[in-house]
Structure 1
Amino acid sequence: MKLTILGGGGFRVPLVYGALLTDRGEGRVTDVVLHDLDAGRLQAVARVLAKQAAGVPDAPAVTATTDLDDALRGADFVFSAIRVGGLEGRADDERVALAEGVLGQETVGAGGIAYGLRTVPVAVDIARRVARLAPDAWLINFTNPAGLVTEAMSRHLGDRVIGICDSPVGLGRRIARVLGADPNEAWIDYVGLNHLGWVRGLRVAGRDELPRLLADPGLLGSFEEGKLFGVDWLRSLGAIPNEYLHYYYFNRETVRAYQQAEKTRGAFLAGQQARFYEEMRDPDAAALAAWDRTRAEREATYMAENRETAGAGDRDADDLSGGYEKVALALMRAIARDERATLILNVRNGSTLGALDADAVIEVPCLVDANGAHPMAAAPLPGHAAGLVTAVKAVEREVLAAAESGSRAMAVKAFALHPLVDSVNVARRLVEGYREVHPGLAYLR
Structure 2
Amino acid sequence: MKGLKIAVIGGGSSYTPELIDGVIKRTQELPVRQIYLVDIEEGKNKLKIVGNLVKRMIKKTGLDIDVNLTLKRAEAIKDADFVLTQLRVGGLAARARDEHIPLKYDVLGQETTGAGGFAKAMRTIPVLLDICKDIEELAPNAWLINFTNPAGLITETILRYTKVKAIGLCNVPIHMVKNTAKLLEVDSSRLQIEFVGLNHLVWGRKVYLDGKDVTMEVIDKLCDGASLTMKNIPDLNWDSNYLKALSMIPCPYHRYFYMTDELIAKMKKELESGEGTRADQVLKVEEELFEMYADESLDTKPTQLEKRGGAYYSDAAVSLISAIYNNKKEIHTVNVRNNGAILNQPDDVVVEINAVIDSNGAHPMTVGKLPPEINGLVSSVKAYELLSVEAGVTGDYNIALKALAAHPLVPSVKIAKLLLDDIIKENKEYLPQFE
Corresponding residue for 1:90?
Answer: 95
Q: Is the 8 A contact 2:152 2:350 kept in 1?
A: yes
Aligned length: 420
Q: Is the 8 A contact 1:47 1:287 kept in 2?
A: no
- Aligned equivalents of 1:188, 1:219: Cα separation in 2: 19
Change (3 A) 1:11 1:217: closer
Matched letter for residue 221 of structure 1: G
Answer yes or no: is 1:265 the counterpart of 2:253: no
Q: Comparing 135-144 with 50-59, which one deviates more in the overlay?
A: 50-59
Change (3 A) 1:409 1:423: same
Q: What whole-Å deviation, never above 9, does each CA across 1:197-252 have from its counterpart, x for those lacking one?
A: 111111234321113333x4588533335963243332121111000000110001
Q: 1:290 deviation in Å?
A: 11
Corresponding residue for 1:222?
Answer: 226
Corresponding residue for 1:306?
Answer: none
**Stretches of 4+ aligned residues off by more than 6 angstroms:** none
Counterpart selection for 2:21 from 18, 38, 46? 18
Answer yes or no: is 1:295 the counterpart of 2:305: yes
Corresponding residue for 2:392?
Answer: 403
Q: 1:161 deviation in Å?
A: 0.4
3-state DSSP of counterpart to 1:107:
coil
Corresponding residue for 1:443?
Answer: 433
Answer yes or no: is 1:375 the counterpart of 2:364: yes
Q: 1:145 deviation in Å?
A: 0.1
Q: 1:46 deviation in Å?
A: 0.8
Change (3 A) 1:230 1:70: same
Corresponding residue for 2:240?
Answer: 231
Q: Is the 8 A contact 1:176 1:202 kept in 2?
A: no
- Aligned equivalents of 2:297, 2:153: Cα separation in 1: 34
Corresponding residue for 1:8?
Answer: 11
Q: What whole-Å deviation, never above 9, does each CA across 1:61-110 have from its counterpart, x for those lacking one?
A: 21011111111001000001111111110001111111111111111111
Q: Is the 8 A contact 1:103 1:109 kept in 2?
A: yes
- Aligned equivalents of 2:218, 2:281: Cα separation in 1: 36
Corresponding residue for 1:103?
Answer: 108
3-state DSSP of counterpart to 2:61:
coil
Q: Comparing 115-124 with 167-176, which one deviates more in the overlay?
A: 167-176
- Aligned equivalents of 1:106, 1:355: Cα separation in 2: 28
Q: 1:150 deviation in Å?
A: 0.7
Q: 1:155 deviation in Å?
A: 2.3
Answer yes or no: is 1:28 the counterpart of 2:37: no
Change (3 A) 1:159 1:358: farther
Corresponding residue for 2:232?
Answer: none
**RMSD after superposition:** 2.3
3-state DSSP of counterpart to 1:228:
coil
- Aligned equivalents of 2:371, 2:201: Cα separation in 1: 14
Q: Which residues of 2 match residues 118-129 of structure 1 at below 5 A?
A: 118-129=123-134
Q: Comparing 349-358 with 51-60, which one deviates more in the overlay?
A: 51-60
Q: Which residues of 2 match residues 128-167 of structure 1 at below 5 A?
A: 128-157=133-162, 160-167=165-172
Q: Is the 8 A contact 1:434 1:441 kept in 2?
A: no
Corresponding residue for 1:312?
Answer: none
Corresponding residue for 1:422?
Answer: 411
- Aligned equivalents of 2:332, 2:224: Cα separation in 1: 24
Q: Comparing 35-44 with 433-442, which one deviates more in the overlay?
A: 433-442
Corresponding residue for 1:349?
Answer: 338
Q: Is the 8 A contact 1:78 1:137 kept in 2?
A: yes
Corresponding residue for 1:322?
Answer: 311
Q: Is the 8 A contact 1:221 1:230 kept in 2?
A: no
- Aligned equivalents of 2:279, 2:236: Cα separation in 1: 24
Q: 1:126 deviation in Å?
A: 1.1
Matched letter for residue 443 of structure 1: Q
| Structure 1 portions without partners, runs of 5+ | 303-320
Change (3 A) 1:290 1:269: farther
Change (3 A) 1:255 1:203: same
Q: Is the 8 A contact 1:159 1:372 kept in 2?
A: no
What's the TM-score once normalised by structure 2's chain length?
A: 0.90
3-state DSSP of counterpart to 2:167:
strand
Q: What whole-Å deviation, never above 9, does each CA across 1:228-284 have from its counterpart, x for those lacking one?
A: 32433321211110000001100011011111112111122234425654787x7xx
Q: 1:39 deviation in Å?
A: 1.7
- Aligned equivalents of 1:287, 1:77: Cα separation in 2: 30
Q: 1:26 deviation in Å?
A: 4.6
Q: 1:327 deviation in Å?
A: 1.1
Q: Is the 8 A contact 2:203 2:251 kept in 1?
A: yes
Q: 1:326 deviation in Å?
A: 0.5
Q: Is the 8 A contact 2:60 2:299 kept in 1?
A: no
